[in-house]
Chain A
Amino acid sequence: MENTAFNIEYKPRTGSEAMCEALLDEGVEYLFGYPGGAIMPFYHALPDYPLKHILTRHEQAAAHAADGYARATGRVGVCVATSGPGATNLVTGLATAQMDSVPLVAITGQVGRPAMGKDSFQETNVMGMTLPFTKHSFLVEDPDELYPAMRRAFEIARSGRPGPVLVDVPKDVQFGATNDNGYRRLREAPPPVESPGLERAAMLLRNAKRPLILAGHGVTLGGAEMELRLLAERTGIPVVTTLLGISAFPDDHPLYLGWPGMHGQASVNRAIDRSDLLFAVGMRFDDRITGAAHKFAPGAKIIHIDIDPSELGKVIKPTVGIAADAKAAMRSILGHLDNAPHEGGGCKQWREELAKSQEPERRRKESARDEYGPIQVMEAIKAAAGSDLRLVTDVGQHQMWAAQFFEFTKANSHITSGGLGTMGFALPAAMGVAFAYPEDPVWVIAGDGGIQMNIQELATIRDFGLNIKVAVLNNGYLGMVRQWQQFFHNRRYSETPITGPDYEQLTAAYGVAGRTVREGDDVEAAVRWAQEQDGCTILDFHIDPEANVYPMIPSGMSVNEMIEEDGA
């Protein structure tokens, strides 16, 4: 149709254009993706919109990059892939996001509707394939449904307990004309918090003698860091975090103890074992935290706050269970507490006992600073990068060392794949973090196994000039598996020795800088050099091949079976 008065040609929008407009309306800035046959109409429309597309070198990396962006910003990350292998390559990234409750929208192209169900070229049932680890998914079979589908996808991804949402769009639907005349974003009202448990929780907090606050990822996801700090300071209760809760509470705060679990501090595990009240907020009692659940915190009453009601009682039966957003629940509990600090009772004595119990660990850490190894590397990075550092870790021994020995003082500055434990996560996730915060120093700590799983992203990093620094803790092994083989399989190192490239040559080939660091080299100087380079650098630290992570609570066991370092 043509409007002759104003010489403006009106034409219906295509499905692809509708998708782009929906993304813009959602405030999306970056898309991480990889084009292919079935998503070509979308990529055809994309250049007409002010959306920044980051071409990764693998779809898995696109999902992790979107994940890193979402974790760092709290916004919904977006990744795009084509049908078939493009979609299957996203799967690990979606499962990673689902396990850690990260809001993602994944857009996949699908073969055209007439070709569906006929084993067509690059056809997969991506909906069926991803059902167990997406929060929801859409197969949009009508161009007019694209607006509402996109609207709902973003709403679902970020609401309640966040998670990944898949939008699968057949190619002909992307080409198709839409009749819908607009897209309006829906905003979710904050969930109401009304529970008799809140007052009871406040009462338990007031009366406990050996209480602990156990804060998880839900505190970061809910932006409840301030409420957590207020609650801790008001009550004087020490704080411990889960692995994903690290950096929800400043490490240098006098009430911060550390983190428990399989490789958490021994003193923190023992503190939980002795506690009489555990205030668990935004966490799900993962088996890496509890070990043998029936032996976990045996003398403690449990207050469990989680936005997902199905988490309450899943692993540990709470004394008080509250299904609520962490921020709203803690605000309400603060309202039930008196204004005066609750320093009385045994809590002060409890804090003193805990501080004393941490002395040996503090001394060990101090003495290890002079030895070449992971602790020295962490210390050097922290010193060179400063307090604005955002650290992204991969999965394995280095992940535990970083969590143990780094001091995170900036909120949400520790990003890692906790639930799924996805090797290869860190490098692409760091790209998302670097796009979100280009001014902040971003470091990756990875092992020599995991770094090779998405090493191709160095090309993406170089293309965009991302200032990502990488420390590879290279022990020539799949170190955590080797450690388990040492402890539980009689040192039978089956298929865990692993080789890698010469990182100096590899980085040169990719056009980024790299150095090898060995025992005897100046670690601080190497890290400073890396920090001062423009763009990406890789430091390949050759460390003791048989260095172990201590302590360790063997899987399914309790604090009583904890393995500690000799002399501990």
Chain B
Amino acid sequence: MPESATGVALNTIEVRFTGGMLALNRLLMTLQNKRMPVAGFTLGSDSDGMRATILLDCPPESALRYTALISALEDVREAGPAETIEVALIETSRDWRELAEQWGVEAHEDDGTVVASGEPDKVEAFLAAVGVEDAVRVGPLARPKSGGGI
């Protein structure tokens, strides 16, 4: 059976910033200094600079306030809400392809393990429908874009 959902609403903030390690250091220091409830942190970089996706375990109003705080950092060019995805690694003997398409979940098989990802509620529904024998849930995670670190 899949592990039960945590029941915690996670808010995701995507932060675009320049300034390299010093800027990253300042961002991390701000997360720690303001005691933001960080549940996940991924980092990537591309030609536009660095991108951090931060999962915050807090109500949406608090996430908005934290976003305002992060936005005020000089190195930050952009900060705002981002999408999250659920990722699950499952073993199943059933035909998962049709159910994945039905529930709008992206899935592929790798060495006998099905890797499914998508919006958390859709993955949830897919897992319930497919009847898994074993599962490891990786998410929820920030949806990776170009330069993503997932």
Min CB–CB distance A507 → chain B (angstroms): 41
Total chain B interface residues with beta-carbon distance under 8 A: 15
> In chain B, residues 43-68, which have Cβ atoms closer than 8 Å to a Cβ of chain A?
61-62, 65-66, 68
Which one of A124-132, A236-244, A286-294 is at the interface?
Answer: A124-132
* B29 is an interface residue with CB less than 8 A from chain A: yes
Q: Check if A313 sits within 8 Å of B65, measured CB to CB.
A: yes
Complex: A441 Cα to B32 Cα, angstroms: 43
What is the CA–CA distance of A323 and B26 in the complex, to the nearest angstrom?
A: 24
Contact yes or no, A312 B65, CB < 8 A: yes
At the interface, yes or no: B109 with Cβ under 8 Å from chain A? Answer: no
- What residues on A are CB-neighbors of B30 within 8 Å? 132
* Contact in complex: B69, A313 (CB < 8 Å): no
Are A131 and B29 in contact, with the CB atoms below 8 A? yes
Instruction: Tally A residues with Cβ within 8 Å of B.
Output: 20
**Is B65's CB under 8 angstroms from A156's CB?**
no
- Of all chain B residues, the one with the shortest Cβ separation from A128 is B25
For the residues of B in contact with A, the DSSP-based class is helix
Contact A310 B74 (CB under 8 A): no
Chain A residues, Cβ within 8 Å of B22? 127, 137, 139
Are the CB atoms of B33 and A136 closer together than 8 Å? no
Contact A156 B74 (CB under 8 A): yes
Task: Give the residues in chain A near B25, CB-CB below 8 Å.
Answer: 128, 131
How far in angstroms is the closest Cβ of chain A from B51? 20
Which residues of chain B come closer than 8 Å to A132, judged between CB atoms?
Answer: 29-30, 33
Cα A540 to Cα B26 in complex, Å, equals 45
Q: Does A308 make an interface contact (CB < 8 A)? A: yes
Q: CB within 8 Å of B: which of A292-341?
A: 308-310, 312-314, 317, 323
Q: Does A74 contact B (CB under 8 A)?
A: no
Knowing A310-B65, A314-B65 touch, does A131 contact B26 (C-beta < 8 A)? Answer: yes
Known: A310-B69, A312-B65, A323-B68. 15 other contacts (CB 8 A): A127-B22, A128-B25, A131-B29, A132-B29, A132-B30, A132-B33, A135-B74, A136-B74, A156-B74, A309-B65, A310-B66, A310-B68, A313-B62, A313-B65, A314-B65
The 3 lowest CB-CB distance pairs between A and B, nearest first, are A310-B69, A309-B68, A136-B74
| 21 cross-chain CB contacts under 8 A | A127-B22, A128-B25, A131-B25, A132-B29, A132-B30, A136-B73, A136-B74, A137-B22, A139-B22, A160-B72, A161-B72, A308-B68, A308-B72, A309-B65, A309-B68, A309-B72, A310-B69, A312-B65, A313-B65, A314-B65, A323-B68
